[in-house]
Amino acid sequence: MRIVLVGPPGAGKGTQAAFLAKNLSIPHISTGDLFRANISQGTELGLRAKAFMDAGDLVPDEITIGMAKDRMEQPDAAGGFLLDGFPRNVSQAEALDVMLEESGMKLDAVLDLEVEEDEVVKRIAGRRVCRNESAHVFHVVYAAPKTEGVCDQCGGELYQRGDDSEATVRNRLEVYHTQTEPIIDYYKAQGLLVTIPALGEVADVTKRAMDALQK
């Protein structure tokens, strides 16, 4: 299957993408991984992207599209893939359609993880990370530490990252509504959109998504 995964920040796209890709035996292609791989390998696209990122500028669509095209042409993606973070806007969605058409392929579904904005803010703004080990992550509501402000695993101080503040989260949501949300209507018009409620246990959300894809 060839699937695009969309949804606001905090909807659990990365978590669901990993589970769905494993269940469907297709590679999970995330924009973040593409950028890191191209930059670390020193590819032409990676060097171009890094120049924009180092200057604090947005990476142009053509570079992101080029990275995605290269990755989708790898042998492990011949039988399908799950795209996470791409396309991010309508022009990227149109470019993806052209790429697939040129290769004699098409998308099978676009999964939209639906979650209320206030829930997104609660999920992200409630995150607390250990200063000693960034992999130690807690949540003031959903996974509270035994002692407030103290990591259960190593005793380190827990803190809220700057990009997890409520103001930053709401700004990220505004960017999502402006730039990415229009692709939902774009894919709905093509009859590809499948909306999945993203509240509840991870396994429950995965099951909803798998059931919807099988239909």
Q: What are phi and psi of 169, to 5 degrees?
A: -60, -45
Q: How far apart are CA 27 and CA 80, in angstroms?
A: 7
Torsion over CA: 18, 20, 25, 30 (sign): negative
Q: How far apart are CA 15 and CA 2, in angstroms?
A: 18
29 within 8 A of 77, measured Cβ to Cβ: yes
- Residues within the annotated binding site for AMP? 31, 36, 57-59, 85-88, 92, 161, 172
| Catalytic-residue membership of 71 | no
- Residues within the annotated binding site for ATP? 10-15, 127, 137-138, 200
Residue of 13, 48, 128, 208 marked active site: 13
Residue of 170, 172, 188, 207 marked active site: 172
- Residues within the annotated binding site? 10-15, 31, 36, 57-59, 85-88, 92, 127, 137-138, 161, 172, 200
Residue of 88, 122, 170, 188 marked active site: 88
| Catalytic-residue membership of 172 | yes
Q: Using the structure block, give the residue that is written with the tokens 């190593």.
A: 154
Q: What are phi and psi of 52, to 5 degrees?
A: -70, -45
Residue of 2, 71, 123, 127 marked active site: 127
- Looking at residue 203, what DSSP letter applies? H
| Catalytic-residue membership of 13 | yes
Angle CA(189)–CA(194)–CA(197) in degrees, nearest 5?
A: 135
Residue of 22, 106, 131, 161 marked active site: 161
| Catalytic-residue membership of 161 | yes
Instruction: Report, as residue numbers or ranges, the catalytic residues.
Output: 13, 88, 127, 161, 172
